[in-house]
Amino acid sequence: MKKKKDEFKRPKRRNISCTPLVILAVLSLLLTACVPKKNVASTEATPVYTVKEVVACPTPETDPEAEQNDSDVESLDPELQVEAPAHEVAPDEEDLSEQQKKALDEDAVKFALDVRETKEFLYYYKFYTDYKKDGSPGKGRKAFTRWLERAKPFLPYVRKVINQKGLPEDIIFLPFAESGYNPWAYSWAGAGGMWQFMRGTGKLYGLRVDWWVDERRDPYRATEAAVAYLDKLHGDFDDWYLALAAYNAGEGKVGRAIKKCGSNDYFEISKHKQLLKKETRHYVPKILAILHIVRNLEKLGFEPIDWNYDAGIVSTEIKGGTDLTAMASACGLSWQQFHKYNPMFRRTASPPDTTMKVYLPQDKLAKAESFLKTKGARPFAGYSNYLVRNGDSWWRISRRSGVPISVLKRVNNTRSNTLRPGQRVMIPGKGSHINVDTPVAQTRQYAARRANYIVLRGDSLWTISRKFGVSLDTLKRANGMRSGRNIKPGQKLYIPDAGVAATKVAVKQAESAHRIITHRVRRGDTIWAIARRYNVPAKQILSTNNLSSTSVIRPGDKLKIVVE
């Protein structure tokens, strides 16, 4: 049975309108609930971000984006990826050991403001000092021990710079929270070095960051820049808690948080998740926990800090274009060892356009200064910064510039055979005068320039040594050879101390056994076609004319051909 059509009609929607009275009532309730409990318009308002009026702080309940930044990580260093849990599961003082409680009660922190023992503070304090159930150090305690050891060479210098600037000594331990005192550290956001400078901020405070160097990784230069920046932040906010928060998040974000909240109390602002990221809300409590630990190291079972520790590191100035690998070698250091002392360099040559400081152990200083006086100390004073194009290869760039591939790779600090379009490659300006980077290769080049004997068919290195009255070892060393088994007819050798008469005899012998003719290269000629024409090995032509299998010959070039 069919139902009436009217039964399928949907009921009409009722229009519910809000009266002005209802709207005003709701707004009144929201504003009343959000006004801070304490009077925030205090006389301690900062000179830059002065609070002119009380503005209600938005609450997590009224801001749908309150948790949008809570997933941010602090650093790529796993030792620093520690986030305090939610308040309801954070430790109370009852959860601490007797050793931890004793050190906590005897608060020795001399910070600009008193320590606030928040839930986050207690969490980090416990994490960095705790032991496992079996009595072994926990993950955080192990990390803190490593940080103390890593910081040892730098702490006296950092303390000296901070004292000269008149900042609280507690700032010395800021890099613990930033990088674990690791000069090589980079964060996911691109902050670099021990003090975790962003690129723009680093440049603003005099740190060079480019293709050649990243001075954010220079522990000494970065310390001076960080202290200057922190001094500026404290001047802006007149409050160390806010200055530290601004160091982490940027002064703009902290300034806007102050204006939105109407309070210049860091801990009051931190209660509202939408105003500061979780990283920044936990940043100051983490620093306070670190400060409390370092002021009570012995009570907590850590080794005390030796403020008179001397790492024996000194600096010397180098001019632009200095060969750093050669300098390291002259000092008896590997590149890895040298780079550990000088992490700011991104290439194995110093920037050609400026002088720089390098840091070395005290006992290496004399050798370094002696090397810097030699003519070969600065082969990279002239250079070009080449942009790789489609079809480029190390071989093509080498042929075009006259710089050996081994030198190009060494200068660009790479072992890869691959180049990508858009990549930048440093090309030394004096390429034709740069020797390859091994003593054997240098010897071979020297021997090729002074060659005074052409190998005959049936010659061996031993018969040549007997002919000229030189030892076999001397002949090998003079020609950069480890073995004399692979010499070939037509190959040129340098015979040291052979004398003019002996050389003339050798030449006459060569002329009587062989005939040297000159071939002018024509259009379409190749090494292999010429070799077939004269019935000689192609390798012999290459060897006689100091060519390689990748060499290019052009019409008009003259080649020497040794024929019987």
Residue in the block written with tokens 């030792």: 79
Pick from 534, 502, 529, 532: which is nearest to 518 by CA? Answer: 534
How many Cα atoms occupy the beta-carbon half-sphere of 417 within 13 Å? 1
E strand intervals along 229-370:
313-318, 356-361
Asked whether the beta carbons of 447 and 474 are under 8 A apart, the reply is: no
* Sign of the alpha-carbon torsion through 454, 456, 462, 463: negative
Q: What is the 3-state secondary structure (H, E, C) of 325-344?
A: HHHHHHCCCCHHHHHHHCCC
Catalytic residues: 178
The one-letter code for the residue type at 111 is F
User: To 10 degrees, the CA torsion angle through 251, 257, 260, 266?
Assistant: -120
Asked whether the beta carbons of 190 and 165 are under 8 A apart, the reply is: no
Residue 14 is encoded by which pair of tokens?
């009722």
CA distance 520 to 325: 42
Residue 328 is encoded by which pair of tokens?
């390291």
The full length of the chain comes to 564
Asked whether the beta carbons of 313 and 359 are under 8 A apart, the reply is: yes
